Structure 1
Amino acid sequence: MRVLRGRADSIDADRDATRRLLASAADDEPAVRVWVPHRQVAFGRRDAEREGYDRAREAADDRGFPPIERSVGGRAVAYDGETTLAFARAEPVEEYRRGTTDRYERATAAVERALEGLGCDAVRGEPDDAFCPGTHSLSAADGTEGGRRKLVGIAQRVRQDAALVAGVVLVANRSALADVLEGVYDALDLSLEPASVGTVTGAGGPADPGPVRAALEDALVGDATVGSVDDVQSGP
């Protein structure tokens, strides 16, 4: 298992680092990366097809979140550049039409274990009108205001020779993330309840992304032997 740590100097360079995970997996070396991406709103391909897409990009930019488009996942997600984590696990595939469900299950179970060990009782599923709605999500009761809020979204990209399961974990800074997502989804004319945006710290876990990152990395690596640990750069 190859492990990548840190982030590159720019959004584009950072995305290239994640693409290298797939190349590593295609060469029969699974790889894991858990990191704090640059501040941004990452739009899905379906977002770009909506009439309000240009307005949504402006809404993100006006709030200090540079807009980008991503190849993995559904609707828009936001990273605050300080506490929001991304994770990715790449592995080789022999038959690209098989194994999707198993990969989702392994990744979801790993994230559940990591958050449970941090005192965050996350469960599968999501509240109504959540950001980036999807089948593979984790949510938790918020310790301050009650209700259930989405903390984690998971997606998957499959090629003929490798698969990448990736996701986002909102650790802290809920107010800023909810604000930018509300503006973006409103411009896209998509349903979003700002109160459905959750964080690890709001659910009883740490506000520091460091221990969350370490716990996620350990869980995603699992029982595999770490063959190399490579620094993408000296960033978070």
Structure 2
Amino acid sequence: MRVLRGTAADPDLDRERTGDLLAAAGEGTTGIRVWTPARQVAFGRRDVRAEGFDRAERLAADRGFRAVERDVGGRAVAYAGETLAFAHAIPASGGIGGGSISVRYDRAVDTVLEALRGLGADVVAGEPPATFCPGDHSVRVAGGGKVSGIAQRVRADAALVAGCVVVSPADAREVAGVSEAVYDALGMRFDPATVGSVAAAGGPDDPDRVARALEDAFVDGPWGDGSRRADRIDTDR
């Protein structure tokens, strides 16, 4: 498995790194990347087409969040500086991306749960209502807010399973604040109290520690090969 580490300071260049991972999967190499994207709101395609998108983009910028359009499905997701992103690129074998869309979703949720529980976090599958990037394949604090959401991008030769993980309470507050403004502009229900964090679930508030646990869980998971060869990316940070 190819393991990419590091963050490019420019969001467009950062997206190219993930694109390289998906391209390699199309040629047969499974890959994983877990990193902290630059401060941004990643809007889904439905968001970009929405009537209130221009206002949502301005409101994000007013709060110091750059607007980018995401390639995978889902609605707007905010990354506040220490919020984690992960991207798991899977070659097409035995069906597109090593299985059906639902199988990939289920395995990704199980992998995130395994990683976070291994760090002491009390997390379960599912999400509260009126939260960010609503979807059936999410992870939340048991009895609390959403910690992780997962989406997919599928090509003929590979699939990309991607998601976010809110680690610290400080990031959760920032994600909640900008999401409240953005979702209001997009005409979507959102309750800021629905944003949780790994730390709120009893896990660590250290993004690096959580990132390595997620990375290891994907490497050792159903599409991993147990190897940890890491291609480090030079960044401007």
Same fold (TM over 0.5): yes
Instruction: State the alpha-carbon separation in 1 of the partners of residues 144 and 205 from structure 2.
Output: 18
1:162-206 Cα shifts (integer Å, max 9, x gaps): 001000000012211110000000111100011001111111111
CA contact (8 A) 1:9 1:233 kept: no
Which residue does 2:204 correspond to in 1? 206
Which residue does 1:111 correspond to in 2? 112
Paired residue total: 230
Q: Is 1:154 paired with 2:150?
A: yes
Gaps of 5+ in 1: 142-146
Give the aligned CA root-mean-square deviation in angstroms: 1.5
CA contact (8 A) 2:24 2:30 kept: yes
1:114-166 Cα shifts (integer Å, max 9, x gaps): 0001111111110010100001001114xxxxx52000000111100000100
Instruction: State the alpha-carbon separation in 2 of the partners of residues 70 and 99 from structure 1.
Output: 22
Tell me the TM-score normalized by structure 1.
0.93
SS at match of 1:148: coil
Which residue does 2:217 correspond to in 1? 219
Which residue does 1:131 correspond to in 2? 132
Per mean C-alpha deviation after superposition, the further-off stretch among 193-202 and 216-225 is 216-225
Instruction: State the alpha-carbon separation in 2 of the partners of residues 191 and 184 from structure 1.
Output: 10
Q: Is 1:18 paired with 2:14?
A: no
Report the CA distance between 1:18 and its aligned residue. Answer: 0.3
Instruction: State the alpha-carbon separation in 1 of the partners of residues 84 and 228 from structure 2.
Output: 23
Which residue does 1:85 correspond to in 2? 84
Instruction: State the alpha-carbon separation in 2 of the partners of residues 93 and 135 from structure 1.
Output: 24
Which residue does 1:144 correspond to in 2? none
Report the CA distance between 1:225 and its aligned residue. Answer: 3.3
Which residue does 1:64 correspond to in 2? 64
Which residue does 1:32 correspond to in 2? 32
Identical-pair percentage: 53
1:59-103 Cα shifts (integer Å, max 9, x gaps): 10000001111111211000012x200001111114339521221
Which residue does 1:194 correspond to in 2? 192
Q: Runs in 1 of length 4+ with deviation above 6 angstroms?
A: none
SS at match of 1:71: coil
Instruction: State the alpha-carbon separation in 1 of the partners of residues 123 and 141 from structure 2.
Output: 5
Instruction: State the alpha-carbon separation in 1 of the partners of residues 29 and 71 from structure 2.
Output: 22
- From the superposition, tell whether residues 200 and 235 of structure 1 become closer, same or farther in structure 2 (CA, over 3 Å): farther
SS at match of 2:96: coil
Instruction: State the alpha-carbon separation in 2 of the partners of residues 207 and 88 from structure 1.
Output: 21
Q: Is 1:185 paired with 2:183?
A: yes
CA contact (8 A) 1:6 1:235 kept: no
Report the CA distance between 1:231 and its aligned residue. Answer: 1.0
Report the CA distance between 1:216 and its aligned residue. Answer: 0.2
Per mean C-alpha deviation after superposition, the further-off stretch among 24-33 and 101-110 is 101-110
Report the CA distance between 1:226 and its aligned residue. Answer: 2.3
Report the CA distance between 1:9 and its aligned residue. Answer: 2.9
Of 161, 164, 170, which residue of structure 1 is paired with 2:166?
170
Instruction: State the alpha-carbon separation in 2 of the partners of residues 129 and 227 from structure 1.
Output: 38
1:5-64 Cα shifts (integer Å, max 9, x gaps): 001131111000001111111111100000001100000000011111100001100000
